Every structure is written in structure tokens, then in C-alpha cells.
Amino acid sequence: MLPLDAYLELQKFHDELVGIADTIDPAAAPLPGVRKPEQSRRRALARVFRLWAQQIERSLVAT
């Protein structure tokens, strides 16, 4: 079991990762003026951040 302060820090880190992913590639709509190859790169990078956030979330739920 994690100490409370470690749990809270991991939760903050999770929220930051999700925020970064949403900044890189907003889930709502593609960014205007961004070409398809650039949008693909952004989407792939955002996916990495979202997967990382999901792994942290699973760890938090498991503790």
C-alpha cells in the first residue's frame, strides 16, 4: 500500500499526463491549420502520454 503523499503525487502526475496529451492532440476536434502528417505525429505522441496515464491509473486503483 502506498503512503498517502505518494498516492496524491501519482494522482497529480496522472492528471498532468492527461493534460499534456489533451494539449498535444485535443480529443474534441483536430487543430485547425495542422497538416495531416503533423496531426498524425501529434496523435501518436498524445497516445503515448495517454497510455502512460492509464498505467498510472491502474497502479493507483490496484493500491
Q: What amino acid is encoded at 3 in this protein?
A: P
How far is 14 from 51, CA to CA, in rounded Å? 10
pLDDT per position in the chain (63 positions), as tens? 779 999 999 999 999 999 999 998 887 676 677 788 888 898 999 999 999 999 999 999 987
Whose CA is closest to 38, among 24, 51, 59, 20?
24
Q: Which three cell numbers stand for residue 46?
A: 498524445
How far is 50 from 32, CA to CA, in rounded Å? 22
- The domains of the chain are located at 4-62
